[in-house]
Structure formats: C-alpha cells, structure tokens
Amino acid sequence: MKSYFRLAIAVILLFSCKMENGPVAAVAKPSWQLQLDSLLPLLGHRNWIIIADEAFPLQSSPGMVYINTGAAMPEVARYTVQGLDRSTHVQPILYMDKELLYVPGAAAYRDTLQQIFKGQSVQTLLHDSVFSKMDKTAGLFKVVVLKTNSTLAYSSVFMSLDCKYWSADKEKQLREAMNRN
C-alpha cells in the first residue's frame, strides 16, 4: 500500500508542475537602427537628436533618451540623415562644435561629414553654446542621444528638428495675415 501511495504522490506532483506560459525564448535586443527607426516618427519640431562621441555624459534629465550604437560616428550620422531625409514631417538644423575646426587630425572627419550632409548648412558654435541652446528645450522636449564609439574631441553632431512642411516664411505670412484681420 505504501508503494502505491508514493507512486500516487509522485504522479500528482509530476502533473501539477506544468508550465503555464511555455518555454521562454531569448529575445535579441533591437539594433540601434531599429530603435532610431521607431523613434523618428514620434519626434517633431523642437526635439533634438545628438550623435555623440564616447565621452558624452549620461544626463539625469528625464527628457533624454540614450541609445548606445557601438558604431562609428560617420555611419550613425549617415543613417540618421537618411532617415530624416525620408521623413515627411521633420528636417534637421545642424550644429557642430566650433572647436572641431582646431582639433588636430579632424580634417578627414569634417570632410566625411560634409559629404554626408550633402551641402546642408551646418552652423558652428562654441561647445557650451550648443549645449545652452539644447538645454533650453530639453526640459520640455525629448532629446535622443546616439552614442558612438568616436574618441575624437568635439566631434558630436547636434540636430535640432524643425518642421519639414511648414517653413519660417510660411509662419511669417500666416502671422501677418492674422494681424491684418
């Protein structure tokens, strides 16, 4: 009788330990490109994208979104510009650190970025000025930081997003028309 009792307990225990949700498969983390692709449609006027060198600081502002690309700066810049070119709603206003003009060995990097930006206007400002400009809106709007593996000083690219389908001239005309009425 004891052996039947033990067998019954073993069978009950065996069948009571079934898996509820099945096996858990390992899910690959999305690549930085997929993460950026999912964010681009959500970003709009006054958001920022920063393509940052490796030393860019992790900031405590809740509006900052960090993506560690592990990729080279030109690769990330090219992919980001292509994504913005495909978008129908935003276009970048480009800023770079003025200090980069004086960093030894940076000429090839600057030439590469000129090719990537295809003649778009790039404003150069002192490093602290770019941060001041960005900080004014970072408290209200998202800033996406794409960290790269670049160790070239002052090589970050700052993109303030602007509306692609509504220009400053159109806004001015609208305001003038409103003031006339």
Token representation of residue 44:
């709009």
pLDDT for the residue 69: 96
pLDDT tens digits along 64-106: 899 999 999 999 999 999 999 999 999 999 999 999 999 999 9
Rounded Cα distance, 99 and 97, in Å: 5
Mean pLDDT of 58-65: 84
Q: Which helix (H) or strand (E) holds 124?
A: strand 122-125
pLDDT at 9 over 90: no
What's the CATH class of domain 25-164? Answer: alpha beta
**Kind plus residue range of the DSSP H or E element containing 96:** strand 90-97
Determine if the pTM surpasses 0.85: no
> What residue spans define the domains of the chain?
25-164
pLDDT for 111-160, tens place per residue? Answer: 999 999 997 999 999 988 887 877 777 778 899 999 999 999 999 999 99
